Amino acid sequence: MFFYVFKGDGTTLFSPEFERQGLAALFGMNILQVFNSPTLTIAIEGRNQDQTTFSSIGTFSAITTSGLKTSDQGGLPEILRFSFTTSGATTRMDRRGRSLRSP
C-alpha cells in the first residue's frame, strides 16, 4: 500500500481496511520525506468481522525523520487499518515539495 499525507493539520487520516495474514506481524513504513518538522504518529487499529468499531492494536514510535520505521505486533484481529496523525509545523505541499495556499 502507498499513502501520501499532503496536509498535516492534526486531522487523522485512515488507510483502507485490509485482512490480516497471520496472528502477528512486523509492520513497516518507509517515510520518504518530512517537511517543516512535523511529528507523524501512525497507529495500527483493528476489529473482528462481527465488530463495527476499531480499537488500537499498537503504534509506531513518533516519526520526525525519513527512513524505514517498524512496529512488531501480535494478537491481531481479523481486519486492520492504519491511522495517520500529524502535529507540529506543517503545510500543504504539492508533489514537488512546494508550499500551496490553504483552501
Give the model confidence (pLDDT) of 14-49 as tens digits: 889 999 999 999 999 888 877 666 788 899 999 999
| 95 domain-assigned | no
| 8 domain-assigned | no
Enter the pTM of the model.
0.76
Residue range of the domain that includes 74? 13-88
For residues 58 and 43, give the distance between their C-alpha atoms in angstroms, rounded to a whole number: 6
Q: How confident is the model at residue 8 (pLDDT cuts 50, 70, 90)?
A: low
| 57 domain-assigned | yes
Give the type of residue at 93: M
Average pLDDT, the chain: 81
C-alpha cell read off for 17: 481496511
pLDDT, residue 103, reads 41
pLDDT, residue 31, reads 85
